[in-house]
Structure 1
């Protein structure tokens, strides 16, 4: 029984739980709810279902006891959490914390209703609009009270988990990060703190929530990723950090374009650039122009793509890594040149894609970044296929496969699949058959 497990963890006796339920029921205006020890024993040991509103009272009690949100579903006394609440960009910070906590707990528990959650196109545009309007016209909020040392600890953990994502892929470490957020970070948001600490804490929570979304995105769990990203955007607004919000919109743009919605991807990237007008992050600006280029390439707009890549190059030339926030550190030559290569690959311009891909590969090799190396080798392989050079394509494709085996990343696996499918156009050739054989185990898994 789930309720028994929660009661055991709380350290309360059955009699103590009965008293707590009665005391809270009085606060809720429900004086008739007066359970005794026998009644609690029937709930806990016999599986008797408490009548309304006792399940909600129990959930509230255990939430207070443990310092994070416990739902009636967690107690085995109600329906599953409404994870679609996380598709809503709420003006209420309290609802935002509850929504992202529900997603995080469902993520850690690997609940099927979350892993099967679809990407909702209808939820793409509204959050960026609300974030932009609120960011451009923000007023200071009343202060609260936690310690800046708590915020520093959260930010230190971000660096650790970001490194894990970069070098091991989004499928590695996300559940540990989600558990850390549920147990240590989101509860802090419910505490009291000064206005300075409040903003810093919301910013740190937004960074980590974005990383959860990005890891889910990289692992192909797009419904989960979307929910994290929307709630990260709301937390970024609360932090009054427009650069961080623009960064979240970049992630949302990347996802929308990847899932076949480049018009929405472009709009999200443009919204991010507008919000960035009140901040200074050349790295984020370069990323947003790059993601607009990816969207325009998917739309077949060669002129627009070239313009966006040129704008990205100008912004990237002004990047000073030491002056950029921690979350922008991944926006380097390995990443950004790889994305430019992908843009030209999508347009069928191998002559433009190849030098960018090689530049990305060289930097990724120096940094030992297997996922980025795999993605850029895939872009190089496709460029060779477009040039009808099967031997060179096979060599790059094999390297793509080798690097993909080092990380837990569905994007890397999909890159392997894409190269394999494109090579099939050469027909019954020994190199095609060889690569198809090499990929079977990876693609089947």
Structure 2
């Protein structure tokens, strides 16, 4: 399936024209009969019209905006059409800005974004790992950008991350997207030297990645994938290899959720290889535990245990970690290992790890505690210990109360299904409370 032409859609929106309005202007003085459906098809299907129509689109839109436009600016450069392997930085930034503009304005092209698969999902990752690097990311623009602007973008990312942990991705995502469109957009199009530009792209990439996390949590998987891939491109331009590894870890987490286990391994191995020496210990733990889970689902027991051992041998010092890896909190390794062992059928060992995961609750945010309790309850239920599973499930519901999160919704739904075969008073009480909470979340 073709990728929507968000660049063209964003430019049309910026002019204030309708699709029919652009088509009408293109027809003036020509024998063409373009209409709103033609323009919609160019955007939706990323189609390039025949003849000199692309050049005419540049002239019409450029005149309305008061600036010159190229075929690359409108997403109709035939020489590079559909090539995701080596996107020039300026084009990549324009594409990212077009995405968050369209998301902010709820444009049709963004609403119907489709998941990339096959080589299209791998090409941006290959481009991140391999040369050429961006030699100079400086830019000339109307707004002078300095260190204070970069610091404000970093602070915004940290603020929105705390909101995400408290209330979930569904209510936070629109706020992040609005900030990207209204505050960050003018900055990335502004004027800055190479050093400031790299720090700006690093900070912007962190916020774009968080938009992807929130879209993932809201079960907008195709949109989440786009945000994460844009963050990865910004990571490359910033020169921060460790941040690129973080973006790949997020892509691997999403692939795990989508049950694309071989892609999990591919993303995780690329991160470990491409950012070798730049990854924080917490990120390395996450990448190894992800592979352990993926290998467990594939049926490779030896590979699964190998990565569990790697993860357990890494020592994390939170004070030395970058802000983004704060999700690797106490108990994460244990709950991931519990999931691995549960998949491998070793429920006794899985319960031991799951119990360990819920002990270090101090310093672990509510969202993380909810996931750990969900894993423990799931294991207890599968072991036939319905009473303890129901009690643990009640604790999980205490933590998820008031959160709007697609992933936590799935965890609650999964536990309700796991306990469906039991009909004790405690299980009924849990099920009734869970169903009430699920109904409120709809």
Scaled to the shorter chain, the TM-score interval is: 0.7 to 0.9
- The 2-side partners of 1:211 and 1:383 are apart by 30
Pair 1:64–1:162, CA change in 2 (3 A): farther
Pair 1:422–1:148, CA change in 2 (3 A): same
Alignment of 1:18-417 (within 5 A): 88=84, 90-111=86-107, 114-122=110-118, 123-134=120-131, 138=133, 140-141=135-136, 143-144=138-139, 146-315=145-314, 317=315, 319-363=316-360, 365-367=361-363, 369-417=365-413
- The 1-side partners of 2:66 and 2:358 are apart by 50
Pair 1:432–1:61, CA change in 2 (3 A): farther
Cα deviation digits, residues 58-86 of structure 1 (max 9, x gap): 75578679xxxxx99xxxxxxxxxxxx99
Q: CA RMSD in A?
A: 3.3
2:431: which partner in 1? 436
1:40: which partner in 2? none
The structure where helix makes up a greater share of residues is: 1
- The 2-side partners of 1:243 and 1:271 are apart by 12
Q: Which runs of no fewer than 5 residues in structure 2 stay unpaired?
A: 1-10, 17-24, 30-52, 68-72, 75-80
Pair 1:62–1:209, CA change in 2 (3 A): farther
8 Å contact from structure 1 (residues 276, 285) kept in 2: no
Pair 1:285–1:86, CA change in 2 (3 A): farther
- The 2-side partners of 1:236 and 1:338 are apart by 29
- The 1-side partners of 2:308 and 2:288 are apart by 7
The worse-fitting range, judged by mean Cα deviation, of 404-413 and 434-443 is: 434-443
Number of residue pairs matched by the alignment = 383
Deviation, 1:112, is: 5.5
Pair 1:258–1:199, CA change in 2 (3 A): same
2:7: which partner in 1? none
Cα deviation digits, residues 217-255 of structure 1 (max 9, x gap): 112110110010111111100011110001000010111
8 Å contact from structure 1 (residues 199, 238) kept in 2: yes
SS in 2 for 1:124: helix
- The 2-side partners of 1:118 and 1:284 are apart by 28
Pair 1:62–1:387, CA change in 2 (3 A): farther
Deviation, 1:206, is: 1.0
8 Å contact from structure 1 (residues 292, 308) kept in 2: yes
- The 2-side partners of 1:170 and 1:113 are apart by 22
SS in 2 for 1:366: coil
- The 2-side partners of 1:64 and 1:376 are apart by 55
8 Å contact from structure 1 (residues 155, 204) kept in 2: yes
Cα deviation digits, residues 310-350 of structure 1 (max 9, x gap): 211222x1x23232222122222143433333333333333
Pair 1:96–1:399, CA change in 2 (3 A): same
Deviation, 1:173, is: 1.8
8 Å contact from structure 1 (residues 371, 409) kept in 2: no
Taking structure 1 as the reference length, the TM-score comes to: 0.76
8 Å contact from structure 1 (residues 167, 371) kept in 2: yes
The worse-fitting range, judged by mean Cα deviation, of 284-293 and 326-335 is: 326-335
Q: Which runs of no fewer than 5 residues in structure 1 stay unpaired?
A: 9-24, 26-31, 33-50, 66-70, 73-84
8 Å contact from structure 1 (residues 89, 234) kept in 2: no
2:20: which partner in 1? none
8 Å contact from structure 1 (residues 147, 193) kept in 2: yes
Deviation, 1:182, is: 1.4
Deviation, 1:203, is: 0.8
- The 1-side partners of 2:263 and 2:56 are apart by 44
Pair 1:117–1:6, CA change in 2 (3 A): closer
- The 2-side partners of 1:217 and 1:400 are apart by 21
Pair 1:149–1:263, CA change in 2 (3 A): same
8 Å contact from structure 1 (residues 333, 359) kept in 2: no
Taking structure 2 as the reference length, the TM-score comes to: 0.77
8 Å contact from structure 1 (residues 117, 223) kept in 2: yes
Deviation, 1:162, is: 1.4
8 Å contact from structure 1 (residues 90, 234) kept in 2: no
Pair 1:6–1:405, CA change in 2 (3 A): same
1:82: which partner in 2? none
